[in-house]
């Protein structure tokens, strides 16, 4: 007969999460997924911000211009347009971006609050 190993088992040091209950481990995984999604979300917000800045720059330059104006459509075609028409389009675009940025700011706040809530729950469990 083989002898039983009666030495006390040491906590699993390779994976610090292994000693936590399943609910806490799931919360930590949820937190990691939320943080990754949040990073992607912030990259999207940054892209909208850059587009807003570019639109503002276009509006400023068009307002300063005199005479005929051309615009690039896609990467291939240049079309003549009027200052008024381009300003109308750019101001409409600016308005749409502003609405989208407001929505993004609201979502960012919700995201941050949810992440902080889960982080607080996990820290309470870990610290006992």
Q: Which pLDDT value is given to residue 76? A: 81
Task: Answer yes or no: is pLDDT of 124 > 70.
Answer: yes
For residue 77, how far is the Cα from the chain centroid? 33
pLDDT tens-digit map of 12-44: 555 655 667 888 888 889 999 999 999 999 999
For the record, the structure tokens of 32 come out as 């990691």
The DSSP-derived string for 79-100 is EEE-HHHHHHHHHHHHHHHHHH
Q: Which pLDDT value is given to residue 25? A: 85
For 69, phi then psi, to 5°, come to: -125, 140
Count Cβ atoms within 10 A of the Cβ of residue 90 and give its class: 0-12 exposed, 13-18 middle, 19 or more buried.
buried
For residue 104, how far is the Cα from the chain centroid? 8
For residue 102, how far is the Cα from the chain centroid? 13
pLDDT tens-digit map of 52-108: 999 999 999 999 998 888 888 887 899 999 999 999 999 999 999 999 999 999 999
Q: Which domains does the chain have, with CATH numbers?
A: 35-127 (1.10.287.370)
Count Cβ atoms within 10 A of the Cβ of residue 55 and give its class: 0-12 exposed, 13-18 middle, 19 or more buried.
buried
């Amino acid at each position: 007969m083989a002898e039983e190993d009666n030495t006390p088992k040491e906590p699993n040091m390779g994976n610090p999460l292994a000693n936590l209950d399943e609910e806490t481990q799931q919360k930590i995984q949820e937190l990691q997924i939320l943080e990754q999604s949040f990073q992607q979300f912030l990259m999207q917000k940054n892209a909208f911000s850059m587009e807003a800045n570019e639109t503002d720059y276009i509006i400023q330059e068009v307002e300063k211009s005199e005479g005929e104006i051309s615009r690039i459509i896609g990467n291939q075609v240049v079309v003549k347009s009027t200052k008024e028409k381009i300003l109308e389009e750019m101001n409409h675009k600016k308005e749409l971006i502003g609405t989208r940025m407001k929505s993004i700011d609201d979502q960012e706040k919700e995201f941050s609050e949810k992440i902080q809530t889960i982080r607080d729950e996990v820290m309470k469990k870990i610290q006992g």
